Chain A
Amino acid sequence: MMFTTQMTQLFAVVLAGDKDRVTEALLREGVMQFIHTSEHTTTQSPNLNALEPRISKGEIADLRKRVEGFLHTIGIVPSTLEETDLSQRKAVDLKKEGQLLDTIEGERGSIRERQRILQQEILRMEDIQRQVNLYGIGLYNVNLSNRNSILSIQTGKLQAGLAEQLTAELKGLPALNIDLGLDGDESHHLVITMKRDRDKISRILDGLRWSQVEVTPEMLSMKKDLFGELATKIEGLSDEQKKLQKQVDGLVEQEADHLQELWTDLRLEELCQSIQDHFQSSSHTIIFAGWLPAEKKAPLQKAIAEASENRCYLEWAEAGSEDMIGSEIPVRLRNPKALAPFQMLVSNFGIPKYGTIDPTPFVMPLYLAMFGLMFADVGQGLVLAILGALGVKALKGRSGKEGMLQLAWLIIWCGGSSMVFGALFGAYFGYSLFKPLWFDFHGIVAGHSAADAAINNVYDILLITIYFGIAVISLGLIFNWVNLARMKQWLTLVFDKGGLLGGWMYAGGIYTATFMVTHGYKEFPAGNILFMLLGLPALLLLLKEPLHLWRQADDGGEKENIAMLCMNILMEWIVELLEIFSGYLSNTLSFMRVAGLGIAHVCLMISFATLAGMTDSLVMKGVILILGNMLVIGLEGLSAGIQALRLNYYEFFTKFFHGTGRLYTPIALNSKLQS
Chain B
Amino acid sequence: MAGPLSKYAFINAKLRGRISKILPEETFAQLSKAPSLDAALALLRDTAYSGLEGIYATTGDLKLAELELLKLEIGLYIEIGQHLHKNTQPILHALLTRFEIDNLKNAIRVYFDRRVRGRSVEASVHYILHETIIHSIPMDVVVNANGFDEIDGVCQHTPYAEIIRKYSHVVESEGSLFRLEVALDHYYYETLLGSIEHLSVRDKRIAQRLIGTEIDLQNISWIMRLKRYYDLPLETVLTTLIPGGYSLRRLQVEDLYRARNMTSVLQDFVKEQYPGLSTLLGTPTADSAARLRVLQQILEEIKRQEVQHILSGYPFTVGIILAYFFLKGDEMARVRTLLNAKHYGLTPELTGGAR
Task: Please list the residues of chain A having a beta carbon within 8 angstroms of any beta carbon in chain B.
Answer: 62, 65-66, 68-70, 72-73, 105, 108, 111-116, 118-120, 122-124, 127, 130-131, 134, 148, 150, 172-173, 194-196, 241-242, 244-245, 248, 675
How many residues on the B side are at the interface (Cβ–Cβ under 8 A)? 29
| Residue B122 is within 8 A (CB to CB) of chain A in the complex | yes
| Residue B6 is within 8 A (CB to CB) of chain A in the complex | no
- A675 to B32, alpha carbons, bound, how many Å? 11
A120-B122, A675-B26 given as contacts; is B64 within 8 A of A69 (CB)?
no
Select from chain B the residue with minimum beta-carbon distance to A248: B57
| Contact indicator B144/A196 (Cβ below 8 Å) | yes
A105 neighbours in B (Cβ, 8 Å): 36
B122 neighbours in A (Cβ, 8 Å): 120, 172-173
Select from chain A the residue with minimum beta-carbon distance to B141: A150
A120-B122, A131-B140, A195-B144 given as contacts; is B35 within 8 A of A69 (CB)?
yes
Dominant secondary structure at the B interface: helix
Interface segment among B38-46, B166-174, B197-205, B326-334: the answer is: B38-46
- A148 to B153, alpha carbons, bound, how many Å? 11
B126 neighbours in A (Cβ, 8 Å): 120, 123-124, 127
Task: Please list the residues of chain B having a beta carbon within 8 angstroms of any beta carbon in chain A.
Answer: 26, 29-30, 33-36, 38-39, 41-43, 45, 57-61, 64, 114, 122, 125-126, 130, 138, 140-141, 143-144
Identify B59's interface contact among A70, A115, A124, CB under 8 A.
A115
Q: Can you list the 9 inter-chain pairs with the closest CB atoms, starting with the nearest?
A: A69-B39, A115-B60, A72-B42, A123-B126, A112-B60, A150-B144, A66-B35, A119-B59, A116-B60
- Interface contacts (Cβ under 8 Å), in number, total 79
A196 neighbours in B (Cβ, 8 Å): 114, 143-144
Instruction: Name, among A62, A119, A173, the residue most crowded by chain B CB atoms within 10 Å (CB to CB).
Output: A119
- A447 to B78, alpha carbons, bound, how many Å? 50
Select from chain A the residue with minimum beta-carbon distance to B56: A112
A72 neighbours in B (Cβ, 8 Å): 39, 42-43, 45
**Can you list 8 A-B contacts (CB < 8 A)?**
A116-B60, A127-B126, A131-B140, A148-B141, A150-B140, A150-B144, A173-B122, A675-B26
| Contact indicator A69/B38 (Cβ below 8 Å) | yes
A73-B39, A150-B140, A196-B144 given as contacts; is B130 within 8 A of A245 (CB)?
no
| Contact indicator A115/B35 (Cβ below 8 Å) | no
A43 to chain B, nearest CB (A): 35
A247 to chain B, nearest CB (A): 11
Instruction: Name, among A118, A134, A245, the residue most crowded by chain B CB atoms within 10 Å (CB to CB).
Output: A245
| Contact indicator A244/B60 (Cβ below 8 Å) | yes
- A130 to B144, alpha carbons, bound, how many Å? 13
A675 neighbours in B (Cβ, 8 Å): 26, 29-30, 33
- A114 to B58, alpha carbons, bound, how many Å? 11
A72-B39, A130-B130 given as contacts; is B60 within 8 A of A194 (CB)?
no
- A510 to B130, alpha carbons, bound, how many Å? 75
Identify B42's interface contact among A69, A115, A120, A150, CB under 8 A.
A69
| Contact indicator B30/A241 (Cβ below 8 Å) | no
Q: Given contact pairs A675-B26, A675-B29, enumerate 20 new A-B contacts (beta carbons under 8 Å).
A: A62-B35, A65-B34, A66-B35, A69-B38, A69-B39, A69-B42, A72-B43, A73-B39, A114-B60, A116-B59, A116-B61, A118-B60, A119-B59, A122-B59, A123-B126, A148-B141, A172-B122, A196-B114, A245-B58, A675-B33
A585 to chain B, nearest CB (A): 32
- A241 to B54, alpha carbons, bound, how many Å? 13
| Contact indicator B42/A73 (Cβ below 8 Å) | yes
- A120 to B120, alpha carbons, bound, how many Å? 14
A115 neighbours in B (Cβ, 8 Å): 58-61
- A134 to B34, alpha carbons, bound, how many Å? 43
Identify A69's interface contact among B36, B57, B58, CB under 8 A.
B36
- A127 to B61, alpha carbons, bound, how many Å? 17
- A331 to B145, alpha carbons, bound, how many Å? 72
A119-B64, A244-B60, A245-B57 given as contacts; is B38 within 8 A of A108 (CB)?
yes
Instruction: Name, among B35, B58, B122, B125, the residue most crowded by chain A CB atoms within 10 Å (CB to CB).
Output: B35
| Contact indicator A194/B58 (Cβ below 8 Å) | no
- A675 to B33, alpha carbons, bound, how many Å? 9
A242 neighbours in B (Cβ, 8 Å): 58
B59 neighbours in A (Cβ, 8 Å): 115-116, 119, 122, 241
| Contact indicator A111/B60 (Cβ below 8 Å) | yes
| Contact indicator A130/B35 (Cβ below 8 Å) | no
B35 neighbours in A (Cβ, 8 Å): 62, 65-66, 69
- A290 to B226, alpha carbons, bound, how many Å? 61
